[in-house]
Structure 1
Amino acid sequence: MSLLATATNGVAWTDLHLSPVALDLGFFQLRWYSLAYLAGIFLGYWYMLRLIREPGAPMARRHADDLVFYAALGVILGGRIGYVLFYRPFFYFHNPLEIVKLWDGGMSFHGGVVGTSLGILYLAWKHKLNWLRLHDYVACVVPIGLFTGRLANFVNAELWGAPTTVPWAVRFPELVAGVTVLGPPRHPSQLYEALLEGVVLFAILWWMFWRTRARYEPGKLTGAFLLFYGLFRFGVEFIREPDAQLVGFARATGLHMGQWLCIPMILGGLWLFLSAKGRRERVEPIVGTESVA
């Protein structure tokens, strides 16, 4: 708070004494980016177990154990493949070995959504479960990972916002003519997204799950997640810098790549949300027992 109170030209990221590396053993480095994914997976798994203890769960504990594996695999593979295809296809085409360097960052949330959905669909097919209701429960969990991931983006000093004069602006290290210098004061858009996509979105889905009957209307929670995430991400992108290699694309199309990818999420989420009531069904208090309305 003292830094914010006295800042006249933005807070220097270096003054926050942050480092992308959480543990350096010389021969091995553990990065906060990796820890963020692990924390999101394990905290999400814990919360999922809490959700399925409530009446009406679409799966049993054994299914949740499998789900966390398929979802984690989908997030990692889908997120990386999505980043390669959507954000840096030409670079990775010429440098294919760079694709496996996940520790350097570079994950697409939209690709992660596709990968996770494929994992859920496989699990539902394998165990004959309701695939849409599985998505509803996973949707309630995802904001936890989004929150930890956006915090890691801030620690990595990446995906920053556009230049600004707000008192909480941050000056991130930037590479200029081969030299790393502190750039102009910028929006800490990573923290905005951590708040909106993590805290606020989690609160919305928490309220819908625990205070309404949304979990008995297949697709309603999934629709809410897609709709609100899409709106939050679309809005923040206006004050976020596009990836360096996509600046020309943003100027030519008028929108960032992330915004274009959010449009089908918003439309699909709105349809799922509004049509969910028509899919209201009798569900099981737990898998394999007597139905309750």
Structure 2
Amino acid sequence: MNFRGNSFRSPSKVISMAAPAKINLYLNIIGKLNETYHELDSLVGFTTYGDKVFVRDCEDFRLEISGPFSQMLPPEKNNLVIKAAKELARETNYARGAYIKLVKNLPISSGIGGGSADAAATLKALNRLWGIKLKKEDLMTVGLKLGSDVPVCVKGKPARIGGRGEKIFSFEGFPKCGILLVNPRVPIPTIDVFKTFQGKYSNYVEIPKINDIEALIEFLSTQKNDLQETSVKIAPVLQVILNILSDEPNCRLARVSGSGATCFGIFNDEHSAALSARAISSRFKEWWLKPTQLSN
């Protein structure tokens, strides 16, 4: 990749790491753990599209941000990427810092784990750059201090999550399928959705064996996102998006991911998702759309 500024023209070693979008295929709110956290049950998948993180050695910690959504991020000192880097250094007594470049391709406060994925990618990249060789489980423990979604993003593979996000169970044999991400460019802070949520609590569900898209759709059709109704109340445009996706002839299922504001449609393949993206974008030019696929 061609780094334009300055910083990455140095011949020092550069490590790159993908930060893919995370999708909550279903999301059950089981109850409240305490005043801060809810107990969740969710099946999580990752797309082949997302942000990118690049790191190289530096005496202190510096952050450079580019990409279409870079201007919407908080100041450097409040950025989760820098917090992740400093937390890993503190946990491992690492004496130097890192120059970090974040390419922000995903919308902010959008329910697809962008900030958490960036933090997770930073932990994994620095673990390699610094040669500290922590196991993935140890990185997940560090990640939990940064946010509930960070551990599963460190894992980076399909998983079922419980608790507030710290209980992670691998989900093997996940089918590849097309995904269309649609965001109205309206940020919805997760904390606002949980504070507003007044729905009934759900129970843990039994997940059958899922080895093809038909089995996936059949199961997901019996599930829901408990936060979706609340998110739609906060941003009614989400219901418009869901209706538009559901009307697409090749869309198998449409849902809000996490707390929103990103909605997703499931398609048989990425090509079908791209065709729908083209049709929808011609009518709603202000929306952000990205055809991609679930990674297994």
TM-score (norm 1): 0.28
TM-score (norm 2): 0.28
If each structure's helix is expressed as a fraction of its own residues, which one has the higher value? 1
If each structure's strand is expressed as a fraction of its own residues, which one has the higher value? 2
- Higher gyration radius (CA): 1
